Structure 1
């Protein structure tokens, strides 16, 4: 059984464990803390699908939808 209070709030048993586990994996990857390749701060995050930006220095890079490979 999955823990309560995680990223699966609102997902009932009707979605199936396979889809809930995949959603959790994607959500954890998306929300992970990342270091900016330019300035090194931890304020590097996703601006939009495929666009990653540092909130401190303004450095932008294109990556994949849920993760960035710099």
Structure 2
């Protein structure tokens, strides 16, 4: 069996391959580890849509829904 990209469970064979690939791409981008722009800690994550914060230094920033561009 060839190694490929990590796929997500939960969608099964529904919705078509194009939608599943888009969902996988967005979900992996959303869940990746990020460093805080202030303190450099890896505890930087999304609180709500467009709101990103660091749990260590309480730094908050507004960004896009699935990623933050600093």
TM-score, structure 2 length as denominator? Answer: 0.87
For structure 1, list consecutive stretches of 5 or more residues without a partner in the other structure: none
Q: Which residue of 2 aligns with 1:54?
A: 54
Distance 1:37 1:18 in 2: 34
Q: CA deviation at 1:66?
A: 0.1
For structure 2, list consecutive stretches of 5 or more residues without a partner in the other structure: none
CA RMSD for the aligned pairs?
1.5
1:14 equivalent to 2:17? Answer no
1:29 equivalent to 2:60? Answer no
Greater helix share, structure number: 1
Q: CA deviation at 1:7?
A: 5.4
TM-score, structure 1 length as denominator? Answer: 0.87
Distance 2:64 2:38 in 1: 19
Structure 1 runs of 4+ off > 6 angstroms? none
Q: Secondary structure at the match of 2:36?
A: coil
